[in-house]
Amino acid sequence: MPCQGEGGITWRHRRGSITAIISPLPNVKVLMERSHPVTIVDVAERAGVSPGTVSNVLTGKRPVAESTRQRVQRAVEELGYQPNLLARSLVNRSSNTLGVVAYGLEYYGPSRTLVGIERQAAELGYSLLLDLLHRPDDQDVDAVLAELTARRVDGIIWAVHEVGDNHAWIDETRLHSLPPMIFLTMEQRPGAAIVATDNRAGARLATQHLIDAGRRTVGILTGPTSWWEVRERLAGWRNALEAAGLEASPALIAEADWTAAAGEAALKALLVRRPDIDAIFACNDQMALGALHCCLAAGRRVPHDIAIVGFDNTPESAFFWPALTTVRQHLAELGRLAVNELHRQIEAQQQGATLTPARHLLHPELIVRASSGGAG
Amino acid sequence: MPCQGEGGITWRHRRGSITAIISPLPNVKVLMERSHPVTIVDVAERAGVSPGTVSNVLTGKRPVAESTRQRVQRAVEELGYQPNLLARSLVNRSSNTLGVVAYGLEYYGPSRTLVGIERQAAELGYSLLLDLLHRPDDQDVDAVLAELTARRVDGIIWAVHEVGDNHAWIDETRLHSLPPMIFLTMEQRPGAAIVATDNRAGARLATQHLIDAGRRTVGILTGPTSWWEVRERLAGWRNALEAAGLEASPALIAEADWTAAAGEAALKALLVRRPDIDAIFACNDQMALGALHCCLAAGRRVPHDIAIVGFDNTPESAFFWPALTTVRQHLAELGRLAVNELHRQIEAQQQGATLTPARHLLHPELIVRASSGGAG
DNA sequence: CAATTTTCTTAAAACGTTTTAATCATAGTG
DNA sequence: CACTATGATTAAAACGTTTTAAGAAAATTG
């Protein structure tokens, strides 16, 4: 029978023992030279209780007498005990960790979204395991998913743009063997929760603004059409123009690769084909910058001869020359929402329920500046 | 004695059993309705060996007969077994994980660096645990460090700018209770390994370039001087000017907050004070953009009246008007180097050795474009 | 005051791996 | 053939937690 009180110790010492120097002053103890990280057993010994009781104090899941709680707390502090989350996760079958698979972190959108994800995750008590793809379309995705499940993440956020057929990577059966998962910017399909910006609405907003400003021949500068976002923005552009009875033909479309350099070149070629263009909707701010450059070089005044609208509202866009009218996405909010939704799914699953996967669409907003002539 | 061969099973079934449907076709087995994740014991049962042997096959750390290896491999595949890295980490006392503490991920530099970190980490087989600070200077850093050590990361990368006295957060005694750690962009001090861009050299490069172009009154547009990087760049600017016998007085310094907006305002004020300024070194590209804007608005021609050089070489900088001369850092390389160095420290520590902490300084390079008149 | 409930504690069994030391074949020696 | 190497395999003990079921002490009751 374990003896108690007076600091009696019944738990066996294992491995290197703790050398405690008890200073002459009462209640002041200095620990030195621990040869191994302190465990819950060490704390239990010092507090004269069982490991189970220490656990109860720490997790607060079950009642414990005030006096022993204090004794344990003091032992924890004196030893500088830090629980081993690996062990805890192992027995709990939950790591309090979310996996984030992302692409293009060096760009504005994804990094902003990641910040939102991290914040909300931290708020809900999750840690983040980060995996980056080097290309959106050709990578061994199985390896990263295997890695994440091997680490027993509670959920996965898929923040990779839908490009080409990469959405086929994770089919429904695959999804079945994975923890709860949420997709950012990916086309809706059964069994998967989604949080995304309404790209189509954003493009409509931009195009309608140009139409309202009296423009009649609105070209579009797109990213690669293998991207789902691009196809959505194209659709929005087409919608707005057709609704206004204006031309929305392929002849007005120039495809680039998201960069300012390519944007400049693509617009240059487009203007040769269609010198009558009096407005451009660029699918991101960088290509819009390239477009501004192109116009400047070609002697076309912005916005007098050509009005330009971008997409993203990067911080620099307000300082382009002229300042860029653009579409703002709520990127951090997107990330927060994704985490919240994922959290819901996780909790539901832990309680044995299954939620019907939600689908959130965030509405972008138009920021009017000089490049569209709209700022007056 | 455990019976072997013929698929004899000696390992007890625990929890929900595996229901295997053996199809009429030989060697084709379909598994259904597993009620629990498959463990190494399940694999062992199916292969008719002990868990220890399965472990030996999987880790390859000890020899195992070819025939049993194949039997185990097949069992692994048939069951779709995925090792539980939490359990493995627990017994190995190493999680194959690096903690990354970062700030300002929404900005160009940090996100680029993170990409470099992630790549090299993936290459070396580490997973990344990401923690973001919301501000560089006032946060409970203890909590994030505790979290990382609780998850038993093998090492920590500190990618937070040194601002104010935040370097005091992690003093040498604190460092002693942490896993190996490497600091990005932090002033050298004993006991800590460092990888950073040579900011001073970069600033010298930029300033010297302006001097060589015949400028005589070179102002500087800085970020907050509480940042270590800013103080370094200021020093480089001063070095170059003093070496050339030119003025480097406080009257030529304008402080802003890294944004284009503040850069524009700060330069405007500076030009009122010192209308004789004929060149500006801006401590990042965004403030340089603000500076361009300011000059444009004030009717000062760039580079004719004022030459401007930035810092960072953001992709957009080549498309500013005029195209921006700037200093390029090798940000991704910085991240890779940090991981490599940290990896060295980790390996050394695991072998009981201690490395003297290294200090890498990366040399930035000057990218000459139109804004300094240097492009011809 | 005996009987019963309530409140705290605890021993022991998980969780899913790896590792150590021991066992057991098998093959190689003299 | 007895003996020793050699190599493959295994039982059992870690790793550091939480949880379950049971037990002990204290508090409440009749």
3-state SS of B255-303?
ECCCCHHHHHHHHHHHHHHCCCCCEEEECCHHHHHHHHHHHHHHCCCCC
Q: Give the percent of chain B with pLDDT over 70.
A: 89
Q: Say which of B86, B111, B318 has its CB closest to residue A152.
A: B86
Calculate how close chain A gets to B179, using CA atoms only, in Å. Answer: 12
The answer for residues whose C-beta is within 8 angstroms of residue A375's C-beta and 6 or more apart is A323, A325, A368, A369
Quick one: pLDDT at residue A35?
Answer: 53
CB-CB neighbors (< 8 A) of B296 in chain A: 321
Q: Which helix (H) or strand (E) holds B221?
A: strand B218-222
Assess contact for B173 and B141: CB atoms under 8 A: no
- Could you report the per-residue pLDDT of B56-68, keeping only the tens digit for each? 999 998 999 999 9
Quick one: pLDDT at residue A19?
Answer: 34
Residue A325 phi/psi, 5-degree rounding, is -75, 135
When pLDDT is averaged across residues B252-265 and rounded to a whole number, the result is 96
> Can you tell me which residue has its alpha carbon closest to the C1' of nucleotide D12?
B52
Assess contact for B150 and B177: CB atoms under 8 A: no
Measured in residues, chain B has a length of: 376
Q: How far is the CA of B105 from the C1' of D26 (A)?
A: 57
Q: Which domains does chain B have, with CATH numbers?
A: 19-83 (1.10.260.40), 96-198+332-364 (3.40.50.2300), 199-328+366-372 (3.40.50.2300)
Q: Is the CB of B150 under 7 A from strand D?
A: no
DSSP string, B32-75: E--SS---HHHHHHHHTS-HHHHHHHHH--S---HHHHHHHHHH
CB-CB neighbors (< 8 A) of B127 in chain A: 129, 131, 147, 151
When pLDDT is averaged across residues B106-128 and rounded to a whole number, the result is 95
Q: How far is the CA of B167 from the C1' of C15 (A)?
A: 40
Calculate how close chain B gets to A200, using CA atoms only, in Å. Answer: 25
- Could you report the per-residue pLDDT of B160-193, keeping only the tens digit for each? 998 887 777 777 778 888 999 999 987 777 778 9
pLDDT above 50: residue B295: yes
Assess contact for A151 and A97: CB atoms under 8 A: yes
Q: Which of residues 32-91 of B touch strand C (CB under 7 A)?
A: 36-37, 39-41, 51-52, 54-56, 58-59, 61-62, 81-84, 87-88, 90-91
Q: Give the percent of chain B with pLDDT over 90.
A: 75
Calculate how close chain A gets to B116, using CA atoms only, in Å. Answer: 10
Cis omega (within 30 of 0) on the bond before B322? Answer: yes
User: Shortest CA–C1' contact from B10: which nucleotide?
Assistant: D10
- Could you report the per-residue pLDDT of A326-357, keeping only the tens digit for each? 999 999 999 999 999 999 999 998 888 888 88
Residue B360 phi/psi, 5-degree rounding, is -100, 130
Q: Write the single-letter amino acid at A285.
A: D
Quick one: pLDDT at residue A256?
Answer: 97
What is the pLDDT of chain B when averaged over all its residues?
A: 88
- Could you report the per-residue pLDDT of A291-301, keeping only the tens digit for each? 999 999 999 99
**Where does residue A328 rank: exposed (0-12), middle (13-18), buried (19+ CB within 10 A)?**
middle
Q: Please state whether beta strands B218-222 and A19-22 pair in parallel, antiparallel, or not at all (unpaired).
A: unpaired
Assess contact for A322 and A369: CB atoms under 8 A: yes
CB-CB neighbors (< 8 A) of A119 in chain B: 132, 134
Assess contact for B327 and B205: CB atoms under 8 A: yes
Q: Say which of A86, A100, A128 has its CB closest to residue B89.
A: A86
Quick one: pLDDT at residue A375?
Answer: 52
Q: How far is the CA of A16 from the C1' of C3 (A)?
A: 49
Across the interface, whether the CB atoms of B128 and A127 are under 8 A apart is answered no
- Residue by residue, pLDDT tens for chain A (376 residues) are 333 333 333 333 333 333 333 333 333 333 434 457 899 999 999 999 999 999 999 999 899 999 999 999 999 999 999 999 999 999 999 999 999 999 999 889 999 999 999 999 999 999 999 999 998 876 788 899 999 999 999 999 999 998 887 777 777 778 888 999 999 987 777 778 999 999 999 999 999 999 999 999 999 999 999 999 999 999 999 999 999 999 999 999 999 999 999 999 999 999 999 999 999 999 999 999 999 999 999 999 999 999 999 999 999 899 998 999 999 999 999 999 999 999 999 999 888 888 888 999 999 999 999 999 965 4
Q: Which of residues 35-64 of A touch strand C (CB under 7 A)?
A: 48-53, 56, 62-64
| Distance from C-alpha of B276 to C-alpha of B296, rounded to nearest angstrom | 17
- Could you report the per-residue pLDDT of B91-112, keeping only the tens digit for each? 999 999 999 999 999 889 999 9
CB-CB neighbors (< 8 A) of A177 in chain B: 80
∠ at Cα A141 (A345, A311), nearest 5°? 75
The answer for residues whose C-beta is within 8 angstroms of residue B280's C-beta and 6 or more apart is B218, B219, B220, B221, B267, B288, B291, B306, B307, B308, B309
Q: Write the single-letter amino acid at B371.
A: S
Q: Is the CB of B51 under 7 A from strand D?
A: yes
**Cβ pairs A/B, distance under 8 A:** 129
The candidate with the shortest Cα–Cα distance to A170, out of A97, A94, A101, is: A101
Q: Which positions on strand C lie below 7 Å from a protein C-beta?
A: 7-12, 14-20, 24-25
Cis omega (within 30 of 0) on the bond before A2? Answer: no
Quick one: pLDDT at residue B37?
Answer: 84
- Could you report the per-residue pLDDT of B347-371, keeping only the tens digit for each? 998 888 888 889 999 999 999 999 9
Q: Is the CB of A40 under 7 A from strand D?
A: yes
CB-CB neighbors (< 8 A) of A84 in chain B: 90, 150, 152
Structure tokens at A217: 């021949």
Q: Which residue has the higher pLDDT, B174 or B256?
A: B256
Q: Which residues, listed in sequence order, are joined to residue A331 by a DSSP beta bridge?
A: none
| Distance from C-alpha of B373 to C-alpha of B368, rounded to nearest angstrom | 9
Q: Which residue has the higher pLDDT, A173 or B265?
A: B265
Across the interface, whether the CB atoms of A112 and B130 are under 8 A apart is answered no
Residue B22 phi/psi, 5-degree rounding, is -90, 115
Quick one: pLDDT at residue A288?
Answer: 98
Q: Which of residues 74-93 of A touch strand C (CB under 7 A)?
A: 87, 90-91, 93
Quick one: pLDDT at residue A52?
Answer: 94
